[in-house]
């Protein structure tokens, strides 16, 4: 039985990857951070009681900023594969906490590589590094492939640039199977609530259900190549099963503006919206509501721009070329953008029906508008 160790197992990708590896028969170990509240919502369905026999899912307390703890866990688990998904992954927050981001996302990667090297596991343990399309940053060329030069535009991307190159360096210096998956944006119903797609699908569901009036967004012109996280964790696993350790781009090759993602999300619930105005004055209003259950009047303003969500430096256009992955490994995504939007919006409607029920019962529902 193969053993995998996943950092960031409590995050979106960690949860889908853990599920996939368990299905494939792996023994899965994950590193979770201590927090004052339970932080395992995304993986609670995978929990196995450690007191029982044949347990294949184990969580270890740890943190990527703590070398000795990383070394101890790697020593204990002796993994065949490590997926380093742990990171402070929010681009805008990285401008507020640049030093911490460098430590967790940049040096954290080094700590994983060093643990494997120090423990003499370089021939046994393969390492996957969660690299990102944010490395491309300021547009040098489109579509972006493994050969496109990097120009990072945030403390997050600069930290990930270190992670990328230290992975390449350890592969070359110590002949390790250490690779970068350069993944473009991928989303799902498990996506963190403050990333733009989830913020939109949550907002749309809550507006339709009468729990929220408006969504406040930043740059509506940015373009992203969005895929589904379920397809992308499959790509991670495939990249780790190859003879040759190489870096791969994972993307859909289709790019969409934030504004259009908003329209598609409302349309999923039969609500037609139209944008008007410019810059910080831009808004979206309801044109027509075709769904009998949702009572939204024409002319209602449902999206406004709040400059607090503008970033000091922005990544305007991402569109990935993953022909290497398709040709060498044969990866094919199951979800396109409409299927992703459908999955996310409908999951959020189901989720917030519970809040509506509570509200109807007289409970106060927090309008957390971040
Ligand atoms: P999430 O933000 O959903 O999850 C991040 C995970 O990292 C969480 O489990 C978090 O723990 C954990 N974490 C954060 N800081 C530390 C730390 N110091 N030590 C240990 N663990 C830590 O991210 P995603 O699942 O979306 O992304 C997974 C990885 O892929 C990240 O590295 C991200 O940067 C990268 N990536 C993501 C893309 C995307 O579109 N989703 C695209 C390209 C790359 P906790 O739950 O306690 O906060
Ligand atoms: P990104 O994702 O920065 O690409 O990083 P995010 O969803 O945060 O932003 C995408 C684009 O939307 C614009 N935007 C807003 N973004 C947020 N979060 N909130 C808003 O209100 C808003 N309004 C407009 C942003 O300016 C940006 O242009 C994600 C993360 O998962 C990274 O960890 C990962 O590496 C990259 O994707 C690939």
Residue nearest to atom 32 of ligand 2 (CA): 89
Give the span between the Cα atoms of 157 and 163, in whole angstroms: 10
| The pLDDT value given to residue 33 | 97
Verify whether ligand 2 is closer than 6 Å to residue 95 (CB atom): no
Ligand 2 atom showing the smallest separation from residue 91 Cα: 3
Cβ proximity of 125 and 79 under 8 Å = yes
Residue 320, ligand 1, Cβ within 6 A: no
One of 3.40.50.720, 3.40.50.880, 3.40.50.1370, 3.40.50.261 is the CATH number of 3-183, namely 3.40.50.720
Ligand 2: which of 8, 16, 87, 91 to mutate, judged by most atoms within 8 Å of the beta carbon?
A: 91
> Fold match between 3-183 and 196-223+257-314+336-360?
no
Q: Give pLDDT, residue 240.
A: 98
d(CA 138, CA 317): 8
Give CA–CA dist 136/133, Å, rounded: 6
Domain range annotation of the chain? 3-183, 196-223+257-314+336-360
> 162: closest CA among 95, 89, 109?
109
User: What whole-number distance in Å separates Cα of residue 94 and Cα of residue 87?
Assistant: 11
Yes or no: say if 176 and 116 are a contact pair by the CB < 8 Å rule: yes
List Cβ neighbours of 183 (8 Å cut-off, separation of 6 or more): 130, 131, 132, 133, 232, 235, 236, 249, 250, 251
Which residues, in sequence order, are CB contacts of 10 under 8 Å at separation 6+? 30, 32, 33, 39, 40, 42, 43
Query: For domain 196-223+257-314+336-360, which CATH number applies: 2.60.40.3140, 3.40.800.10, 3.90.25.10, 1.20.140.10?
Result: 3.90.25.10
With vertex at residue 194, the alpha carbon angle to CA 213 and CA 318, rounded to the nearest 5 degrees, is: 110
Among 5, 87, 157, 318, say which to mutate for ligand 1: greatest number of ligand atoms within 8 Å of CB: 87
Q: Which ligand is nearest to the CA of 369?
A: 2
Is the CB of 130 inside a 6 Å radius of any atom of ligand 2? no
- CA 207 to ligand 2 center in whole angstroms: 21
Predicted local confidence at residue 272, as pLDDT: 98
Question: What ipTM does the predicted assembly reach?
Answer: 0.99
C-alpha span between 193 and 231 (Å, rounded): 20
pLDDT at position 13: 98
Predicted confidence pLDDT, tens digits, the chain (370 residues): 999 999 999 999 999 999 999 999 999 999 999 999 999 999 999 999 989 889 999 999 999 999 999 999 999 999 999 999 999 999 999 999 999 999 999 999 999 999 999 999 999 999 999 999 999 999 999 999 999 999 999 999 999 999 999 999 999 999 999 999 999 999 999 999 999 999 999 999 999 999 999 999 999 999 999 999 999 999 999 999 999 999 999 999 999 999 999 999 999 999 999 999 999 999 999 999 999 999 899 999 999 999 999 999 999 999 999 999 999 999 999 999 999 999 999 999 999 999 999 999 999 888 777 7
């Amino acid at each position: 039985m193969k053993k995998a160790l996943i950092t960031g197992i409590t995050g979106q990708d960690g949860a889908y990857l853990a599920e996939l590896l368990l299905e494939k028969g792996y023994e899965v170990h994950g590193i979770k951070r201590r927090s004052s509240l339970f932080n395992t919502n995304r993986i609670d369905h995978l929990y196995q009681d450690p007191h029982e026999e044949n347990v294949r899912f184990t969580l270890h307390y740890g943190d990527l900023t703590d070398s000795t703890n990383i070394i101890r866990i790697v020593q204990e688990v002796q993994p065949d594969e490590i997926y380093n998904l742990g990171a402070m992954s929010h681009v805008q927050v990285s401008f507020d906490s640049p030093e911490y981001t460098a430590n967790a996302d940049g040096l954290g990667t080094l700590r994983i590589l060093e643990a494997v090297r120090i423990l003499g596991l370089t021939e046994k343990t393969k390492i996957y590094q969660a690299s990102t399309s944010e490395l491309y940053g300021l547009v040098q060329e489109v579509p972006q492939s493994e050969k496109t030069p990097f120009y990072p535009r945030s403390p997050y991307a600069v930290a990930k640039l270190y992670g990328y190159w230290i992975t390449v360096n350890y592969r070359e210096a110590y002949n390790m199977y250490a690779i970068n998956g350069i993944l473009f944006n991928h989303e799902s119903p498990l996506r963190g609530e403050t990333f733009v797609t989830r913020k939109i699908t949550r907002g749309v569901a809550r507006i339709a259900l009468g729990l929220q009036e408006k969504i406040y967004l930043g740059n509506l012109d940015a373009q992203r190549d969005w895929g589904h996280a379920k397809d992308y964790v499959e790509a991670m696993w495939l990249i780790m099963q190859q003879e040759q350790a190489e870096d791969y781009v994972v993307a859909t090759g289709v790019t969409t503006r934030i504004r259009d993602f908003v329209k598609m999300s409302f349309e999923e619930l039969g609500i037609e919206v139209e944008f008007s105005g410019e810059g910080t004055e831009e808004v979206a209003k309801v044109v027509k509501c075709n769904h009998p259950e949702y009572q939204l009047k024409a002319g209602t303003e449902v999206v406004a721009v709040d400059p607090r969500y503008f970033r000091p430096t922005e990544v305007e256009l991402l569109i990935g070329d993953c022909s290497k992955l398709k040709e060498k490994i044969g990866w094919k995504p199951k979800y396109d953008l409409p299927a992703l939007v459908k999955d996310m919006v409908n999951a959020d409607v189901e989720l917030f029906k519970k809040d509506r029920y509570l509200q109807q019962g007289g409970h106060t529902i927090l309008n957390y508008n971040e």
